[in-house]
Structure 1
Amino acid sequence: MSYPSSPTRPWDVRHLPPAVGKTFLITGGNAGIGYFVAEQLAATGAVVVLGSRDPAKADAAAFSIRSRVPGADVRHLRLDLADLISLKDSVDRLDLGHLDAVVHNAGIALDDPPRRESDDGLELMFATNHLGHFALTQWLAPLLCAAPAGRVVTVGSFAARSERLDLDDLQSADDYRPKRAYGRSKLAQMSFAFELDRRLRAAGSTVLSVVAHPGGALDSLTPARPPIHVTTPGERLRAVPAGLVLQGKDAGAWPIVRAALDPEVRGGELWGPRVFGLRGTPHRESALPHMTDPSVAARLWSASVDLAGVHDPDLGFGG
């Protein structure tokens, strides 16, 4: 049974449609935004797989979800997005016949120099946030294609709005500034996601690629989920003024959950919070032109194939 978002049945973030029989993989599902995406999807009756490097943290997240969602089917997939060579083996360990959606949520944000590299010799934020998800998409393609309407949901960021990709220095080797490198890595993710949907549509695929972002989501406005997340009374009090324009990470998960679950969502769309893109219930918004530029995306795609060491064509969706 489908539950379309319409004037007669508006989307309700607190009363989600059932998704029994569906399976979702959330990278970085053990903490932050990813944790609340997992908790909310688990409440629909779906199978939720937490992609995480740390089994202990994944176990703690699963325990927390089950304590709030009795009977929740929560699993763990050991996943290290910075270790590109390991990703195929990780996916091979998924004991699933299909995957209804992968939520590309995991990421790192480094605040200080020096520039750091992965074991593969790639700038760490670009490798983790973009290239890891780029490669993971290829290995998940057969499972996504086996679902009736698979989805790739990429979690973007406000940080991408003010950045532009330097296609001649994607790894910030010439001029490394941590905040800029982070914003560019998120822009690369979003550019890839929009380009992926263009290629999926051209191939006649049933899989959709959708982008969503959490707006302004703060730890101090987020409800406690000990030991995953704990805030002191003082932190909550100091955050009250910020709550006028920002929100907690539980609400930041709403657009991402809708992008993964709502049957009315279409490929190539961008979803975010309704109020100035910072807080509130999810709605569809317009992507900025530099996020959807096909010529930039094509060059990024070609470079990513080489850097990630994947086969293409079209990451396994194009035949």
Structure 2
Amino acid sequence: MSSTSSTPPWDVQQLPRADGSVFLVTGGNAGIGYFVAEQLSATGATVVLGSRNPAKAEVATSSIRSRVPGARVRAVRLDLADLSSLRTAVESVEYLDAVVHNAGVALDAPPRRETGDGHELMFGTNHLGHFALTHWLMPLLSAAPAARIVTMGSFAAKSERLDLDDLQSRKDYRPKRTYGRSKLAQMYFGLELDRRLRAVDSTVASVVVHPGGALDSLTPSRPPVHVRTAGARLCGAPAALLLQGKHAGAWPAVRAVLDPTVRGGQLWGPRVFSLRGKPQRERAWNHLTGTSVAARLWDASRDLTGVGLDTIPG
């Protein structure tokens, strides 16, 4: 369905109902992922929080239930840094209409760290973990009428470029750059995935989003998941001219899950300078349109994870 003049404007405060739908949010126990889960829960859908920490997941589910009467929310243990565990995690999900690939690791300082599989921690978790997870989720998603895979990128990826000869940052490890590149890899993956889904006339769509500039200091409190102190509120006030809280950073992903006018292969982000505001469609960043880079990354990801994702059900 394409957007028409009869389509009402998207209202982040009045989301459409999604009763009967099931959505999985990776990293749904904290940060932007928590707010994605909270907002989706308000639509009547069942929301599954994917989290590697069961205790934190329980705190998040309790918080959502306290704010959303009748919320259908539960948790599943999901550790994207442990590729061998993902198949078992998926077995506890029986039906799925959408997944939001949100979970991520961001390191601020050396030393370089690795997952148990020997991959650089940020690239291995943020990109390779979601690549492998998609493989195991694809049968569920293909069984739904019109499922969506929503990949949460980052504005930090806009200034980065992939080094296909050093995806694991073994030669030159700089944490902030490695993080940006891991998010860029996710975004390449989301777009390449949709091209491959379209090639086989799949009913599944892959959409890429980013949250703009989302700060803790501008995020409303959700104790004990997140507590914003008075000092943080005062210090963050000047930033509100250009940036926003993580509750607003969730809006593009929530729209990508729910809005019937959203299409696979699109990029969505905040309206104001791509940093803050209501979600809108963006033109794909120039470097993200490079299909040869995306294809080479796909092949490398397949080899590194050991999962095919080449046989996509139509």
How far off its partner does 1:237 sit?
1.2
Distance 2:120 2:229 in 1: 35
How much has 1:311 moved relative to structure 2? 2.4
User: What is the CA-CA distance between 1:231 and the residue it aligns to?
Assistant: 1.1
- State the aligned residue count: 314
Q: What per-residue deviation string (whole Å, max 9, x for no partner) do you get for residues 261-296 of structure 1?
A: 100000000000000001110000011121131100
Give the whole-Å Cα distance in 1 for the aligned partners of 2:147 and 2:281.
Answer: 19
1:137-193 per-position Cα deviation (integer Å, ceiling 9, x unaligned): 010001101111000000010111111111111000111111111111000000010
1:220-241 CA distance string (max 9 Å, x none)? 0000000000011111011111
Corresponding residue for 2:196? 199
Unaligned runs of 5+ in 1: none
Q: Does 1:269 align with 2:266?
A: yes
Distance 1:5 1:55 in 2: 44
Q: Give the structure 2 partner of residue 39 of structure 1.
A: 38
Distance in 2 between residues matched to 1:6 and 1:242, nearest whole Å: 35
Residues in 1 aligned to 2:53 and 2:4: alpha-carbon distance in whole angstroms = 37
Output the CA distance in 2 between the equivalents of 1:205 and 1:53.
30
How big is the alpha-carbon RMSD for the aligned residues of Structure 1 and Structure 2? Answer: 1.4
When residues 274 and 85 of structure 1 are mapped into structure 2, their CA distance, relative to the original with a 3 A threshold, is same
Q: Distance in 1 between matches of 2:293 and 2:216?
A: 34
The alignment partner of 2:159 has SS state of coil
**Percent identity at matched positions?**
72
Q: Aligned equivalents of 2:52 and 2:5: distance in 1?
A: 39
Is 1:64 paired with 2:63?
yes
Q: Does residue 1:91 correspond to 2:90, yes or no?
A: yes
- Please give the alpha-carbon distance, in whole angstroms, between the structure 1 residues aligned to 2:248 and 2:137: 28
1:184 aligned residue (168, 181, 206): 181
TM-score by length of 2: 0.97
Q: Does 1:221 align with 2:218?
A: yes
In structure 1, give the amino acid aligned to 2:45.
Answer: A
1:52 counterpart residue number: 51
Write the distance in 1 (CA, Å) between the matches of 2:28 and 2:4.
Answer: 26
Question: Contact conserved, 1:270 with 1:285, CA < 8 A, in 2?
Answer: yes
Match of 2:247 in 1: 250
Q: What TM-score do you get using the length of structure 1 for normalisation? A: 0.96
Runs of 4 or more off by more than 4 Å in structure 1?
Answer: 4-8
Answer yes or no: is 1:100 the counterpart of 2:89. Answer: no
Q: Which residue of 2 aligns with 1:306?
A: 303
* Distance in 2, Cα, partners of 1:292 & 1:26: 26
CA shift, 1:5, in A, is 7.5
Residues 68 and 147 of structure 1, relative CA distance in 2, 3 Å threshold: same
1:125 corresponds to 2:119? no
**Distance in 1 separating the partners of 2:142 and 2:163:** 33
